[in-house]
Structure 1
Amino acid sequence: MTARNLFVRQRSLIGLVHYTAPPVVGGVESVLARQARLLTQAGYAIRIVAGVVDQTLFGVEAVAIPLMYGGHPQIAPLQAALREGQRPADFPRWRQRLRTALSEALRGVEVAILHNVCTMDKNLALTAALYDLVRQEPRRWIGWHHDAVILRSEAPRFPGEPWDLLFRPWPVVHVTVSEARRQALAAAWGIPMEQIHVIPNGVDLEAFFRWTPLTRSLVEQLGLMEADVILLAPVRITRRKNLQAALAVLRILRERTGWDARLVVTGPPGPHSPANRAYLEELRHLRTAWGLEGAAHFLCEFVAEGLPEEAVADFYTLADAVLLTSQEEGFGLPVLEAGLARLPVFAYSLPPLEELGGADVFLFPETEGPEDLAAAIARFMETDPVARLRRRVRQQFAWSTLIQARLIPLIEDDHLPVP
Structure 2
Amino acid sequence: MPPKPRLALLHYSAPPVTGGVESVLGEQAGRLAAAGYDVRMIAGRGDGELLPELDTAHPRVRRVFRELLAGRGSETEFRELSSTIAGRLQPLLADRDCVIVHNVLSMPFNLPFTAALLASRRRLVAWVHDVVIRDDDGSPVESVNYPFSLINQRQPGVSYVAISETRREDLRRLWREPEAEAEVVPNGIDSQRFAGLSRKLMGLLSPIPVDRAWPLILIPQRVTENKRIELALAAAAQLRQRLPGLTVLVTGPSDPHSHQGELLSQLLRRRQELGLNGTVHFFAEQAVTGRAHPINTDDIAMLYRLSDAVLLTGRAEGFGLPLLEAALARVPVVCAALPVFQEISGGDIYPFPVSGDPASIAEALLKALDTVVARSRRRVLQRYSWPVIMEQLEAVIAGAVAPRGVAAAP
In structure 2, relative to structure 1, the CA distance for the partners of 1:284 and 1:207 (3 Å cut) is: closer
Aligned residue number for residue 46 of structure 2 = 53
Is the counterpart of residue 18 in structure 1 residue 11 in structure 2? yes
Q: Is the 8 A contact 1:267 1:306 kept in 2?
A: no
Q: Is the 8 A contact 1:141 1:418 kept in 2?
A: no
Is the counterpart of residue 394 in structure 1 residue 381 in structure 2? yes
Q: 2:60 aligns to what SS in structure 1? A: coil
Q: 1:340 aligns with which of 328, 340, 346?
A: 328
Which structure exhibits the higher relative contact order, with contacts defined as CA atoms closer than 8 Å and separated by 6 or more residues?
1
Q: Is the 8 A contact 1:85 1:158 kept in 2?
A: no
Superposed displacement of residue 378, structure 1: 1.2
Equivalent residue runs for 1:223-302 within 5 Å? 223-255=209-241, 257-274=242-259, 277-302=261-286
With 68-77 and 231-240 compared, the bigger mean Cα shift is at: 68-77
The separation in 2 between residues aligned to 1:389 and 1:244, in whole angstroms, is 30
Aligned residue number for residue 150 of structure 2 = 165
Aligned residue number for residue 352 of structure 2 = 364
With 87-96 and 27-36 compared, the bigger mean Cα shift is at: 87-96
Say what the alpha-carbon RMSD is for the aligned residues: 2.3
Superposed displacement of residue 232, structure 1: 0.7
In structure 2, relative to structure 1, the CA distance for the partners of 1:194 and 1:337 (3 Å cut) is: farther
Q: Is the 8 A contact 2:222 2:253 kept in 1?
A: yes
Superposed displacement of residue 317, structure 1: 1.8
Q: Name the aligned partner's letter for residue 264 of structure 2.
A: L
In structure 2, relative to structure 1, the CA distance for the partners of 1:129 and 1:325 (3 Å cut) is: same
Equivalent residue runs for 1:20-39 within 5 Å? 20-39=13-32
Q: Is the 8 A contact 2:144 2:153 kept in 1?
A: no
Q: Name the aligned partner's letter for residue 168 of structure 1.
A: Q
Unaligned runs of 5+ in 1: 1-5, 55-61
Equivalent residue runs for 1:26-175 within 5 Å? 26-54=19-47, 62-88=48-74, 89-133=76-120, 137=121, 139-149=122-132, 153=138, 156-170=141-155, 171-175=157-161
Q: Identity, % of aligned pairs?
A: 35
In structure 2, relative to structure 1, the CA distance for the partners of 1:246 and 1:30 (3 Å cut) is: same
The separation in 2 between residues aligned to 1:393 and 1:156, in whole angstroms, is 33
Unaligned runs of 5+ in 2: none
The separation in 2 between residues aligned to 1:334 and 1:356, in whole angstroms, is 10
When the two structures are aligned, how many residues end up with a matched partner?
Answer: 397
In structure 2, relative to structure 1, the CA distance for the partners of 1:356 and 1:270 (3 Å cut) is: same
Q: Is the 8 A contact 1:349 1:366 kept in 2?
A: yes
- With normalisation by structure 2, the TM-score equals 0.90
The separation in 2 between residues aligned to 1:306 and 1:207, in whole angstroms, is 19
Q: Is the 8 A contact 2:323 2:333 kept in 1?
A: yes
Q: Is the 8 A contact 2:215 2:243 kept in 1?
A: no
Q: 2:206 aligns to what SS in structure 1? A: helix
Q: Is the 8 A contact 1:49 1:63 kept in 2?
A: yes
Structure with more of its chain in helix, by fraction? 1
